[in-house]
Structure 1
Amino acid sequence: MNRLTLISRTGCHLCEVAEQTLDRIAPQQWTKVDVDSDIELERDYGDRVPVLLLDGKEHGYWRIEEERLLRDLARQPGEPRL
């Protein structure tokens, strides 16, 4: 299972930028989910895509903070953030 999930939408420019960023810094380590595929995702994230989840928890939205993401990926799942 990938630690990273990108919640995105077709035709979303920021989503495309987020995908390119993830391909560059974490190739083949993330999955994409279409926000419009599930009513609960649409309700929770519909106006904030792209949304990045790390280990199932929201890490950020609209833009990927690369330095923060790399730092957090270096931690083991469940390890507390300092």
Structure 2
Amino acid sequence: MSPLFRRKAPQDRIVTLIRKPGCHLCDDAQIVVEKVCGEVGVKWETRDITRDQQLHDQYWEQIPVVLVDGKQHTFWRVEEQRLRKALTE
């Protein structure tokens, strides 16, 4: 595999869950993110759109939003298999 296309090691990746308080879809998404990231050894974080105007403006109609290494992976519903695949392939 070319060095330019080498995939990142799990410890070098990060998943960001963009959410807001009181959002049941966000709670569901967090369960999937916690599970998958825990299983594959990837760090993850949450960001609250009510505390970040830029995130609010960008993602308000899509939350929850999942970013993988800073790029949008999905929104509204997180599919466990799809997230796992994105983190391991």
Give the TM-score band, short-chain normalised: 0.7 to 0.9
Instruction: Give TM-score scaled by structure 1 length.
Output: 0.83
Matched residue count: 75
Q: Is the 8 A contact 2:20 2:26 kept in 1?
A: yes
Indicate the percent of aligned positions where both proteins have the same amino acid.
37
Task: Give the helix-richer structure, 1 or 2.
Answer: 2
Query: What are the residue-to-residue correspondences of 1:21-60 with 2, within 5 Å?
Result: 21-27=32-38, 29-60=43-74
Counterpart residue number, 1:9: 20
Which blocks of at least 5 consecutive residues in structure 2 are unaligned?
A: 1-11
Listed as ranges, the matches of 1:64-75 within 5 Å are 64-75=78-89
In structure 2, C-alpha distance between the alignment counterparts of 1:54 and 1:25, rounded to whole Å: 12
Matched residues in 2 for 1:74 and 1:14: separation? 24
Provide the rounded CA distance (Å) in 2 between the counterparts of 1:2 and 1:30: 8
Structure 1 position 71, deviation (Å): 0.8
* Alpha-carbon distance, 1:24 to partner: 1.7
What's the TM-score, normalizing by structure 2?
Answer: 0.77
Please tell me the root mean square deviation across aligned C-alpha atoms, in Å.
1.5
Bigger Rg over Cα: 2
Is the contact made by 2:36 and 2:83 (CA closer than 8 Å) also made in structure 1?
no
